[in-house]
Amino acid sequence: MIIAHCALSLVTVASLALQAVPPQPTAKQQDLDRRMGWFREARFGMFIHWGLYAIPGGQWKGAEVSGAGEWILQTGRIAPLDYMPLQAQFNPVEFDGDEWVRIAKMAGQKYIVITTKHHDGFALWDSRVSSFDVTATPFKRDILKELADACARGGIQLCFYHSIMDWTHGDYLPKRECDARNPEDADFDRYVGYMKEQLKELLSGRYGKIGILWFDGEWESTWTHERGLDLAKYVRSLDPDIIINNRVDKGRNGMAGLNGEGEWAGDYGTPEQEIPATGIAGSDWETCMTMNDTWGWKQSDTNWKSAETMIQMLCDIASKGGNFLLNVGPQPDGRIPAASIERLARIGTWMETNGEAIYGTAASPFTAPPFGRCTQKRLAEGRTRLYLHVFEWPISADGATNSLVIPALKNEIVAVRMLGATSFVSSATRLGDGWSISIPVIAPDSVSSVIAVDVVGIPATGEPKVSPH
List interacting residues with ligand FHN (CB under 6 A). Answer: 68, 70-71, 216, 272, 288, 295
Quote the least distance from Cβ 116 to ligand FHN, whole Å.
Answer: 12
Closer by beta carbon to ligand FHN, 133 or else 272 = 272
Phi, psi torsion values for 311, nearest 5 degrees: -65, -45
Quote the least distance from Cβ 168 to ligand FHN, whole Å.
Answer: 15
Quote the least distance from Cβ 166 to ligand FHN, whole Å.
Answer: 12
DSSP E strand stretches across 111-231: 111-117, 157-163, 212-216
Quote the least distance from Cβ 216 to ligand FHN, whole Å.
Answer: 5
Quote the least distance from Cβ 337 to ligand FHN, whole Å.
Answer: 17
Closer by beta carbon to ligand FHN, 227 or else 247 = 247
Strand (E) or helix (H) holding 455: strand 449-456
Closer by beta carbon to ligand FHN, 158 or else 421 = 158
CA atoms within 13 A on the CB side of 72: 26
How do strand 323-328 and strand 403-406 relate by DSSP bridges?
unpaired
Q: Are 117 and 169 in contact (CB under 8 A)?
A: no
- Residue at shortest CB range from ligand FHN: 295
Quote the least distance from Cβ 201 to ligand FHN, whole Å.
Answer: 21
Q: Are 389 and 369 in contact (CB under 8 A)?
A: no
Whole-angstrom Cα distance, residue 316 to residue 319? Answer: 5
Quote the least distance from Cβ 467 to ligand FHN, whole Å.
Answer: 24
Helix ranges, 203-337 (H): 225-238, 307-319
Sheet-wide strand order for 434-438? 403-406, 434-438, 428-431
Whole-angstrom Cα distance, residue 388 to residue 413? Answer: 13
Contacts of residue 25, defined as CB under 8 A and 6 or more positions apart, other chains included, come to 33
Closer by beta carbon to ligand FHN, 114 or else 406 = 114
Closer by beta carbon to ligand FHN, 244 or else 413 = 244
Quote the least distance from Cβ 437 to ligand FHN, whole Å.
Answer: 39
Contacts of residue 463, defined as CB under 8 A and 6 or more positions apart, other chains included, come to 366, 367, 408
Quote the least distance from Cβ 211 to ligand FHN, whole Å.
Answer: 17
Quote the least distance from Cβ 355 to ligand FHN, whole Å.
Answer: 25
One-letter amino acid identity for 171? D
* Rounded (10°) CA dihedral 239, 168, 94, 350: -60
Whole-angstrom Cα distance, residue 344 to residue 326? Answer: 9
How many CB atoms neighbour CB 76 within 10 A?
Answer: 21
Residue 91, by phi and psi: left (phi above 0), alpha (psi -120 to 50) or beta?
Answer: beta
Closer by beta carbon to ligand FHN, 295 or else 391 = 295
Closer by beta carbon to ligand FHN, 247 or else 373 = 247
Closer by beta carbon to ligand FHN, 148 or else 288 = 288
Closer by beta carbon to ligand FHN, 267 or else 272 = 272
Q: Tell me the three state secondary structure of residue 158.
A: strand
Closer by beta carbon to ligand FHN, 71 or else 95 = 71
